[in-house]
Structure 1
Amino acid sequence: MSQETDAVLQLLGDNEEQILSQWLQEAGGNAARLTEAGRRALRGDAEEILRNLREALRAGGDPENFEAPAWSALRGALESLSRSRAAQGQSAGDTSVFVLAFKRPLFGLIQDRMKAQPERQMAAVWTLSVLVDRMAQWTVSTYQQTREDLIKRQQQDLLELSTPVIKLFEGVLAVPMIGTLDSSRTQVVMETLLQRIVETGSRLAIIDITGVPTVDTLVAQHLLKTVSAIRLMGAECIISGIRPQIAQTIVHLGIDLQGIATKSSLADALQLAMEQQGFVITRRQA
C-alpha cells in the first residue's frame, strides 16, 4: 500500500461521519424534495460505497487498476446504484454527479490535514481524484449497459408482438406481416410459425404482406425461405396482400413465385384455404 493510499484510507476511517454528511450535502441539491425514505436510501448508498471503498483499499487495491479483484465489491455497489437509479428514471449524469460529489469532503480534509506536506498532499489528491473518476465512469458504463439490455429486450418483445400467428380456422394459420421484413424478423416468424404448425397440426399457412410497404429481392428471399421451411414441415403456404405495385416489383426483379399460391387479399386467401381443405361456404337463406 502506497503512502498516498494509506493517507486516504486513514482519512476515510477517522472522518466517516463528517465525510458522509458533507458528501450528501454536496450531492443532495434536490434533497429538500426527497421523502424521509428517499434521504435514508441516499445515505445508505453512500455508506455502502464508503464501506466497500475502505475494504478495497485495505486489500491493496490500486486506483489505476479499478477492474482488479480487490475492487469487485465496490464495483458491485456502484452497479447496483446505477441500475436502481436507471429504473427510477434518473440519467447517467445524475448518478455520476452523486459519485463525483464524494471528492469535495475528501479534498477539504486532505487540504486541512496535509497542508504542511505539499508534495504528499498533491499525491493524495491525485490518487483520490483518479479513484473517484474511475468510480463515476463505472456507473456510467453500467447505466449504458443497462439501457442497452432494456432496449434489446423491448425490441425482442416488439418483434414477437409484431409477428403474431393466428388460427383462422381448423387447420389454417395466418401471419399478418406489418413493416419491414428483415433477417431477424424472418427468423422469428419462421420459428413461431413452425412451432404453431406442430402444435395445431395445421396444413395451411397464410402469410399476409398487406402491411409490408415494399418488396425487394431481400424481402422476397425471406419469404421464399419461410415458404420452404413450411413445406418441409408438410404444410402448404399462401401469400396474400399482393398489391398491383408489389406484383409489378416482383415481375421487374425477376423473382420466381411459381408453385406458391398468391392472392390479393387475406379474404381471398382464406377462401382458397377453405377450398383446399374441402370446405364449401354457402349463404344461408333468410
Structure 2
Amino acid sequence: MQVAEHDTAPDTAKELGAFLERRREQIAQRWADAALFRTVFTVSRDEAVEAGKSVVDALADVARSGRLEDVDAPGFDAVRDQLGRMAAARARAGFTPVQIAGEVADLREPMTALLRTEFQDADGVRAHACGQALAVLTATLRLVIMETTVSAGEELIERQRQQLLEVATPVIKLWDGVVAVPLIGTLDSARSQVVMESLLEAIVDQRAAYAILDITGVPTVDSLVAQHLMKTVAAARLMGAECIVSGIRPAIAQTIVHLGIDLGSIITRAGLADALAYALTQQGIVVSARPATGASPR
C-alpha cells in the first residue's frame, strides 16, 4: 500500500492565517508606532490601530487562501485601499516608491517577533515554515504597495498635466461678444482638445459672436496642427461664432503654402489687434487711431 505524500504548504499558509487572526490586536498596536502609520495618523493613535487591524485581517485572508505570492489575491484589495491611501499620503509628502516600500517592509519585524514568541515551544520545522511563509507574504505586500504607489503617482502626474494644459490655454474676454485664445507652444492632439472644449464653453458662457485663435506663440505649423485649427474653427461655427486666426508669421505662412493646406475658408489676420479690430467692425463698432500726442485739433 502506497502512502500519499503530505503537502505542508497549504497547512502552513492556513496556520499563518490563524496566527495573524489571533495576534491581530497586538500587531496593530505595534504597527501604530511604525513610521508609515505614525506619520499618516497624526491626530489619533486609535485610528492608526483600527487601520492596522483592517490590514492584518486582509493579510490573514490572503494567507488562508494560500495565495501568498499572488498580488491579485482578493485579500490584497483591502490592503490596496488602506495602505494605498497611506502610501499616497507619504508620496505627496515627497517620499519615493522605494522609500515607501521600505516602510512597508518594516511592518514585518513586529509580526516576526510575535511569531517567534508563539512558536518558541513548538518544533523548529513548524516555526521555520511559518517564518518563511510570513516572509513571502510581506514581500508580496511590499510589491503590491509599490505597484499601488507608482500607479497613484502616474495618476497624479496625469491630473497635473491636464491642469497645466488648461492653465496654458486660457480663454480671454476681449470685448462684449469677443473672446480669444492666445496659444503658446506646441499644439498636439491632447492640447487641441482642451483648446476646443475651453473655447466652446467660453462661447456659450460669454454668448460670443467672435472667437480669435492667436497662434503668435506657436513655433511651427504642420498639417496636423492645421487640421486641429480647422476642426476648432468648424466647432465654433456650429456654436454660432465666427472664428478668426491671427498671428500667422511669414515663415508659418510659407510652410502652410508648401504643405498645400487650404485655409481659404478661415478668416485670418496678421495680429491679435487686427483680429480684434475686425471683430469689432463686424459688430458695427468704429475703431479709429488715437491722435498723436500734442497734435492740434481741427
TM bucket (normalised to shorter chain) is 0.7 to 0.9
**228-237 vs 159-168, which moves further:** 228-237
Q: Are 2:253 and 1:242 equivalent residues in the alignment?
A: no
Q: Are 2:123 and 1:117 equivalent residues in the alignment?
A: yes
**TM-score, structure 2 length as denominator?**
0.78
- 1:225 maps to which residue? 231
User: What code does the residue aligned with 1:4 have?
Assistant: T
- 2:92 maps to which residue? 87
Which residues of 2 match residues 1-286 of structure 1 at below 5 A?
A: 2-9=10-17, 11-12=19-20, 13=22, 17=26, 21=30, 37=42, 40=45, 44=49, 47-48=52-53, 51-53=56-58, 56=61, 60=65, 62-108=67-113, 110=115, 113=119, 117-282=123-288, 283=290
Residues 171-194 of structure 1: CA deviation (Å, up to 9, x unaligned): 211111111111121122112212
8 Å contact kept, 2:29–2:49: no
- For residues 199 and 142 of structure 1, the distance between their equivalents in structure 2, rounded to whole angstroms, comes to 40
**276-285 vs 220-229, which moves further:** 276-285
8 Å contact kept, 1:172–1:273: yes
8 Å contact kept, 2:14–2:66: no
- For residues 36 and 217 of structure 1, the distance between their equivalents in structure 2, rounded to whole angstroms, comes to 54
Instruction: Structure 1: give runs of 5+ residues left out of the alignment.
Output: none
8 Å contact kept, 2:101–2:146: yes
8 Å contact kept, 2:18–2:60: no
8 Å contact kept, 2:244–2:268: yes
- For residues 207 and 35 of structure 1, the distance between their equivalents in structure 2, rounded to whole angstroms, comes to 47
8 Å contact kept, 1:45–1:81: no
8 Å contact kept, 2:185–2:217: yes
Superposed displacement of residue 279, structure 1:
1.6
Residues 89-142 of structure 1: CA deviation (Å, up to 9, x unaligned): 222222211221233344455567368634433422231112111211121111
Q: Name the SS for the 1:69 alignment partner.
A: coil
8 Å contact kept, 2:27–2:52: no
Q: Name the SS for the 2:280 alignment partner.
A: helix
Q: CA RMSD in A?
A: 3.4
Seen in structure 2, the aligned counterparts of structure 1 residues 117 and 19 have a Cα distance that, compared at 3 Å, is farther
- For residues 237 and 248 of structure 1, the distance between their equivalents in structure 2, rounded to whole angstroms, comes to 22
User: What code does the residue aligned with 2:130 have?
Assistant: A
Seen in structure 2, the aligned counterparts of structure 1 residues 250 and 8 have a Cα distance that, compared at 3 Å, is same
- For residues 28 and 236 of structure 2, the distance between their equivalents in structure 1, rounded to whole angstroms, comes to 67
